[in-house]
Amino acid sequence: MNTITKLDNTQPERSTSDLVKAAVSGWLGTALEFMDFQLYSLGAALVFHEIFFPEQSAAMALILAMGTYGAGYIARIAGAFFFGRMGDTIGRKKVLFITITMMGICTTLIGVLPTYAQIGIFAPLLLVLLRIIQGLGAGAEISGAGTMLAEYAPKGKRGVISSLVAMGTNCGTLSATAIWAVMFFVLSKEELLAWGWRVPFLASVVVMIFAIWLRLNLKESPVFEKVNDEAPATVGKQHAADNTHSLGAMFTSKSFWLATGLRFGQAGNSGLIQTFLAGYLVQTLLFEKSVPTDALMISSVIGFITIPFLGWLSDKIGRRIPYIIVSISSIILAYPMLSMIMDKSNSVNVIMASIIIIHNVAVLGLFALENITMAEMFGARNRFTRMAISKEAGGLVAVGFGPVLAGIFVNMTDSWWPIVVMMISYSIVGLLSAVLMPEVKDRDLSLLEDAAEPAQATRVVKGLHV
């Protein structure tokens, strides 16, 4: 008989100050991750093809730069599994300290790498190595931050509070894009390629130091403490057994595949718009580099309204309906927005407005709902692991390989139509996952089983009863 297991209603107390620290910690960690994401994605799209792959054709150099970008996403899967299991075993706080340190150091070190002109093939190899180490930490960072904040936040406010993690993506994207925009405005092309490209990566050290300090002073998740400290020994043994076999059990979990589908839809659109499209506009359509960077910067500012609004809305009407609405909107807007972006006869303002609209809907809108929904879909015993792996599995295919495939398809067809087809396909996967998922708003996060598991009985721990 399937049994839904939960703990009693007691939970370690956390003050408002503790909640604020958890929120800021999650926000900063996500900001650093997405600062790296945008620093590297724009660097790969706009300058890295000349710094690390100068002997290739323009099209092939862009594909190689995107492939190097994708190498970090392969490592993220391993990091998600390793650090996710660690987070479910020794605690969220310890793992989040490790991941933020790994990410921050590697991002900074990219800024001191020698170039291809200095050491030849070893330059891109060192870049790949740093991306891999960085990816190991990033594979569990945003999932850990999302798990921690969801387990801190009170019912009825989880969506809007968890939106702080999503807004960290905005802060990181905005900061990185703003830095690149300043570099393009202030420096000549020669100065940018000589030394200016290093500045954005070196500047990230400030965020890293503050984030590490904050996490050293953060208390453990109250839900994790409840599961590991208050449960009887028999349940603790079962918890350990479940973790031992969690990989096999995970692949038979409906919640895991639904969460992966949700992530696939959002991450795919993100890779196309924030990574590939920026490079395509500059390298193929010969737009000014300021067009995609300024558009993404403005879009990130608008996202400070979009993200908390959707988090608040999901607290009021549930997670499914907003997901469905935003996914359908992404499908409907894909062709008209991209057709306006690709038409060079349009004014720069029209092109930038189109980028802003599709980015806010297809990327930021979905991400505003993603973290809290995935956290509520998984049970307490394996939440960190399953959330991390489902995020990174979807991200690996959609963001790690998506821009590379887009480059290949666009090069083969000499058309931008593959971008439209890929964006619609990603959004359809997200839409189907949202339609099929159970409503999880305000689900008890102390439940040990995943949300999509059939419930036949409830066992309450601490004075067990069925």
Digit-coded pLDDT (tens) for 153-178: 888 899 998 888 888 877 887 788 78
Q: How confident is the model at residue 257 (pLDDT cuts 50, 70, 90)?
A: very high
96 and 29 Cβ atoms separated by less than 8 Å = yes
In this prediction, residue 119 has a pLDDT band, given cuts at 50, 70 and 90, of: confident
Contacts of 377 (CB under 8 A, 6+ apart): 255, 258, 259, 437, 438, 440, 450, 451, 452
CA dist 428 → 193, 262, 328, 409 (Å): 40, 10, 8, 20
User: Out of 53-67, 118-132, 137-151, which region has the weakest mean confidence (pLDDT)?
Assistant: 53-67
Lowest mean pLDDT among 4-18, 140-154, 411-425: 4-18
E runs forming strands in 233-346: none
pLDDT band with cut points at 50, 70 and 90 for residue 456? very low
Q: Is the pLDDT of residue 234 over 70?
A: no
The DSSP secondary-structure symbol of 14 reads -
Residue 112 phi, psi (nearest 5): -115, 10
pLDDT beyond 90 at 133: no
Percentage of the chain beyond pLDDT 90 is 25
With a cut of 70, say whether residue 3 has pLDDT above it. Answer: no
Residue whose C-alpha is closest to residue 442's, from 433, 434, 451: 451
Identify the band that residue 9 occupies on the pLDDT scale cut at 50, 70 and 90.
low
Q: What is the pLDDT of residue 124?
A: 78
β-partners of residue 458 are: 4
Element (H, E) at 354: helix 348-359
Task: Report the alpha-carbon distance of residue 180 to residue 44 in Å, rounded.
Answer: 12
Q: What does the pLDDT look like over 418-436, one tens digit per residue?
A: 899 999 999 999 999 999 9
| The CATH number, out of the four listed (3.30.450.40, 3.20.20.60, 3.40.720.10, 1.20.1250.20), of the domain defined by the range 4-460 | 1.20.1250.20
Average pLDDT, the chain: 81
Which of 192 and 231 is assigned the larger pLDDT?
192
Q: pLDDT value at position 462?
A: 47
Residue 188 is predicted with a pLDDT of: 83
> pLDDT tier at 19 (50, 70, 90 boundaries)?
confident
In the structure encoding, which two tokens stand for residue 291, read together? 């067009």
Strands 4-6 and 458-460: parallel
pLDDT in tens, 366-402: 999 998 999 999 998 889 999 999 988 887 777 767 8
For the segment 100-114, the average pLDDT, to the nearest whole number, is 87
Q: Is the pLDDT of residue 240 over 50?
A: no
Residues 73-85 have pLDDT tens digits of 678 888 999 999 9
Mean pLDDT value of segment 285-311:
86
Q: pTM for the full model?
A: 0.79
- The predicted structure's pLDDT at residue 10: 56
> Which run of H or of E encompasses 412?
helix 402-413
**Residue 5 parent element (H or E):** strand 4-6
Per the DSSP assignment, residues forming a β-bridge with 4 are 458
Is pLDDT of 256 > 90? yes
The mean pLDDT of 433-452, rounded to a whole number, is 90
Evaluate whether 152 touches 22 at the Cβ level (below 8 Å): yes
Neighbour tally for 344: CB within 10 Å: 11
